[in-house]
C-alpha cells in the first residue's frame, strides 16, 4: 500500500511540475459599465485574480449576437505587497440608441460572468436623463449603498456619478479593499454606467488604482483623469481637483487639464443649441461651510483661484466665463446647496427665486454617501452663499427635465429615504455670465 501511495504522490508531483496544479481564480468579478466616446459605445471593466489572456464581451438585443475582444492588463499597484491582479477592459460597439441589451463578459476558454442588462442612452438631446450623484462612499459604512441599489434596480436612473473617494482606500490591504468595494457596487455598476472622477483617497502610487480599475471616455488606455460626455441635453465634464494638491506627480497635469478644459468648454458652447446644459463634477469643492481646515474653507481655495499669488489655473473663472450651469463636488462628508455664486458674491436670479435665471453657477456638495470617516461638521454661521446644509448620510438625485428645467433632490438615509432638500433650476438662456 505504502508503495502505491508513494507512486501516486510522485505522479501527482511530476504532473503538477509540468502543468501547474494550483487552483485558478478566473471567474469574472467586479464587473462595471461606463460610457464610451459616443452613444454607440459602452465600456465594460472586470477583474480576475489569475490571468485568462483573452477578454471578451458577448452582447446583443436578442441574445449574444455581437462580440468584442478587449484587453487584459496585468496590474501591480506599486505598493510593497506587489500583488498582481488582472483587469479586463472592453468596449461594446455598434449599440443602438435606447435599446435594451443583454451582455456577459469573460472568456470562451475559462467561462463567462452571469448575464446583465442595460438600456443604452439615446443620441438625441430631447430626453430627460435621471442621475444619482454622491461622493465619498467607502467599503465600511457605505450608508447609501442599499438604497442606491434598490433605486437602480427599480429603474430610477440612467447613470451614476461617483464624485471621488472610493473604498477608503482602493489600495488598502494590498488592494483587497478595492476589490471588495468594486464587488459591493457591482449590482449597480453592472446595469448602469458608473462615471467617476478621482479624489484624494485615490492618490497612492500616482492614482494607479483609479486609472486601472476604471475606464472613462476619451482615452484609449482608460487612464484619463479628466474627460467629458454628452447625455441628453447635458454636456458633462469630469475634472481632477487632485492635480492642485499632489503636485509631486507632475504640476504639468494641472495645466494640461486647464488647456483641455478651454477647448472642451469652447466646443460645448458652440453646441449649446443642441445641448444647453454644462454640468461639471470634481472632488474637492471651491466653497463649503464645514468646520475642518479643508481647501474649501479658505478664502482663496486652490481649486477656485489656482496657483497661489499668481492665480493661474483656477476653475472658478473659466467655469463662470463659459457659463457652466451646475458644479457638483464632494470631499466634505455632508450635503450643501449654494446660492448662485461667483467670487464669493451671491448672484441670485430674481428676488423671489434665486434659481430662476441665476447670474452665476450653482454649486452642490454631495459627499455624504458614507465611509468610515463618518461626517464633517459645519461652522455655526453659514456664509451668505450657503442655502441649505445637512449632515445626514445620503445622496443626490437629478433629473434634467428639458432645455430650461433641472430638478434636484437630496435623499436622507438617516431619515429612511426622505427628501430633505429640493431645487428647480430654471434657465431660459444658457451661456457665459460675463
Ligand atoms: C497565455 O498566453 C501565453 C502565450 O500565448 C501562454 O504561454 C499561456 O499559457 C497562456 N495562459 C493562459 C492562462 O491561458
Ligand atoms: C501585503 O502583501 C505582502 C507581501 O505579499 C504581505 O507581506 C503583507 O502582509 C500584505 N499586507 C496586508 C495588509 O495584507
Ligand atoms: C503620473 O501619471 C500621469 C498620467 O496619469 C503622468 O503623466 C505623470 O508623469 C505621472 N507622474 C509620475 C511622477 O510618474
Ligand atoms: C438670495 O436669495 C435667498 C433666498 O431667497 C435670500 O435669502 C438671500 O438673501 C439672497 N441673497 C442676495 C444677495 O440677494
Ligand atoms: C420643461 O419642463 C418644465 C417643467 O416640467 C415645463 O413646465 C416646461 O413646459 C417644459 N418646457 C418645454 C419646452 O417643454
Ligand atoms: Fe476626499
Per-residue pLDDT tens over the stretch 77-90: 999 989 999 999 99
Q: Which residue spans of the chain are classified as CATH 2.60.40.380? A: 24-119
pLDDT value for 1: 45
Centre of ligand 5 from the C-alpha of residue 403, in Å: 8
Is the C-beta atom of 50 inside 6 A of ligand 1?
Answer: no
Q: How many CB atoms lie within 10 A of CB 195?
A: 25
Q: Evaluate whether the domain defined by 24-119 bears CATH number 2.60.40.380.
A: yes
Centre of ligand 3 from the C-alpha of residue 372, in Å: 29
Centre of ligand 1 from the C-alpha of residue 54, in Å: 9
pLDDT value for 311: 85
The answer to whether the peptide bond before residue 125 is cis (omega within 30 degrees of 0) is no
pLDDT value for 4: 54
Is the C-beta atom of 108 inside 6 A of ligand 1?
Answer: no
Residue the block writes with cell 443583454: 102
SS3 78: coil
Centre of ligand 3 from the C-alpha of residue 386, in Å: 36
CA distance 70 to 54: 8
Mutate to test the pocket of ligand 5, among 405, 406, 408, 426 (most ligand atoms within 8 A of CB): 405
Is the C-beta atom of 431 inside 6 A of ligand 2?
Answer: no
Mutate to test the pocket of ligand 2, among 80, 81, 178 (most ligand atoms within 8 A of CB): 81
* Ligand 1 atom 1: residue of nearest CA: 53
Top-level CATH class of 130-426? alpha beta
Q: How many CB atoms lie within 10 A of CB 399?
A: 18
CA distances from 154 to 147, 149, 183, 224, 384 (A): 11, 9, 20, 31, 39
Burial 63-97 (b: 16+ CB within 10 A, else e): eeebebebebbebebeeeeebebbbbbbbbeebee
Mutate to test the pocket of ligand 3, among 250, 259, 260 (most ligand atoms within 8 A of CB): 250
Q: Are 306 and 251 in contact (CB under 8 A)?
A: no
Name the packing angle between helices 204-213 and 176-189 (round to 10°): 30
pLDDT value for 13: 52
Centre of ligand 5 from the C-alpha of residue 99, in Å: 26
* Ligand 3 atom 14: residue of nearest CA: 249
SS3 25: coil
Half-sphere exposure of 144 (CA within 13 A, CB side): 32
**Atom of ligand 1 lying closest to residue 52 CA:** 13
Its pTM stands at: 0.94
Residue the block writes with cell 472568456: 107
Enumerate residues lining ligand 3, CB below 6 A.
206, 223, 225, 249-250, 253
Which residue from 239, 245, 207 is spatially nearest to 226, judged by alpha carbons?
239
Note the ligand closest to the C-alpha atom of 360.
Answer: 4
In tens digits, the chain (434 residues) has pLDDT values of 455 555 555 555 555 555 566 789 999 999 999 999 999 999 999 999 999 989 999 999 999 999 999 999 999 999 998 999 999 999 999 999 999 999 999 999 999 999 999 999 999 999 999 999 999 999 999 999 999 999 999 999 999 999 999 999 999 999 999 999 999 999 999 999 999 999 999 999 999 999 999 999 987 666 789 999 999 999 999 999 999 999 999 999 999 999 999 999 999 999 999 999 999 999 999 999 999 999 999 999 999 999 888 889 999 999 999 999 999 999 999 999 999 999 999 999 999 999 999 999 999 999 999 999 999 999 999 999 999 999 999 999 999 999 999 999 999 999 999 999 999 999 999 999 98
CA distance 116 to 114: 7
Q: Which residue spans of the chain are classified as CATH 3.60.21.10? A: 130-426
CA distance 290 to 230: 32
Amino acid at each position: 500500500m505504502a508503495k502505491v501511495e508513494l507512486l501516486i504522490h510522485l505522479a501527482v508531483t511530476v504532473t503538477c511540475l509540468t502543468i501547474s496544479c494550483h487552483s485558478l481564480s478566473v471567474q469574472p468579478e467586479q464587473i462595471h459599465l461606463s460610457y464610451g466616446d459616443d452613444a454607440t459605445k459602452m465600456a465594460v471593466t472586470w477583474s480576475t485574480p489569475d490571468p485568462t489572456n483573452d477578454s471578451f464581451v458577448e452582447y446583443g438585443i436578442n441574445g449574444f449576437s455581437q462580440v468584442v475582444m478587449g484587453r487584459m492588463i496585468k496590474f501591480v499597484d506599486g505598493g510593497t505587497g506587489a500583488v498582481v491582479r488582472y483587469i479586463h477592459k472592453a468596449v461594446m460597439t455598434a449599440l443602438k440608441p435606447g435599446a435594451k441589451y443583454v451582455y456577459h463578459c469573460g472568456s470562451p476558454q475559462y467561462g463567462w460572468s452571469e448575464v446583465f442588462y442595460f438600456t443604452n442612452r439615446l443620441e438625441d438631446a430631447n430626453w430627460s436623463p435621471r442621475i444619482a450623484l454622491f461622493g465619498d462612499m467607502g467599503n465600511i459604512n457605505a450608508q447609501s449603498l442599499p438604497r442606491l441599489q434598490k433605486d437602480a434596480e427599480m429603474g430610477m436612473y440612467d447613470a451614476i456619478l461617483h464624485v471621488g473617494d472610493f473604498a477608503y482606500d482602493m489600495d488598502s490591504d494590498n488592494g483587497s479593499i478595492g476589490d471588495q468595494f468594486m464587488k459591493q457596487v457591482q449590482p449597480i455598476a453592472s446595469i448602469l454606467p458608473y462615471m467617476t472622477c478621482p479624489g484624494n483617497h485615490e492618490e497612492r502610487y500616482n492614482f494607479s488604482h483609479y486609472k486601472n480599475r476604471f475606464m472613462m471616455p476619451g482615452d484609449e488606455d482608460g487612464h484619463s483623469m479628466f474627460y467629458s460626455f454628452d447625455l441628453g441635453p447635458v454636456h458633462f465634464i469630469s475634472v481632477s481637483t487632485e492635480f492642485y494638491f499632489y503636485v509631486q506627480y507632475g504640476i504639468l497635469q494641472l495645466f494640461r487639464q486647464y488647456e483641455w478644459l478651454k477647448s472642451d468648454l469652447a466646443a460645448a458652447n458652440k453646441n449649446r443649441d443642441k445641448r444647453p446644459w454644462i454640468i461639471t463634477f470634481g472632488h474637492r469643492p471651491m466653497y463649503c461651510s464645514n468646520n475642518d481646515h479643508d481647501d474649501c474653507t479658505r478664502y482663496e481655495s486652490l481649486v477656485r483661484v489656482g496657483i497661489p499669488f499668481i492665480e493661474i489655473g483656477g476653475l472658478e473663472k473659466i467655469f463662470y466665463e463659459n457659463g457652466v450651469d451646475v458644479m457638483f463636488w464632494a470631499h466634505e462628508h455632508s450635503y450643501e446647496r449654494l446660492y448662485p455664486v461667483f467670487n464669493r458674491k451671491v448672484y441670485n436670479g430674481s428676488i423671489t427665486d434665486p434659481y430662476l435665471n441665476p447670474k452665476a453657477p450653482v454649486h452642490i456638495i454631495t459627499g455624504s454617501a458614507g465611509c468610515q470617516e463618518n461626517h464633517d461638521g459645519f461652522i455655526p454661521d453659514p456664509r451668505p452663499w450657503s442655502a441649505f446644509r445637512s449632515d445626514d448620510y445620503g445622496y443626490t438625485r437629478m433629473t434634467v427635465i428639458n432645455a430650461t428645467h433641472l430638478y434636484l433632490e437630496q435623499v436622507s438615509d438617516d431619515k429612511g429615504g426622505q427628501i430633505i432638500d429640493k431645487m428647480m433650476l430654471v434657465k431660459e438662456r444658457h451661456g457665459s455670465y460675463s
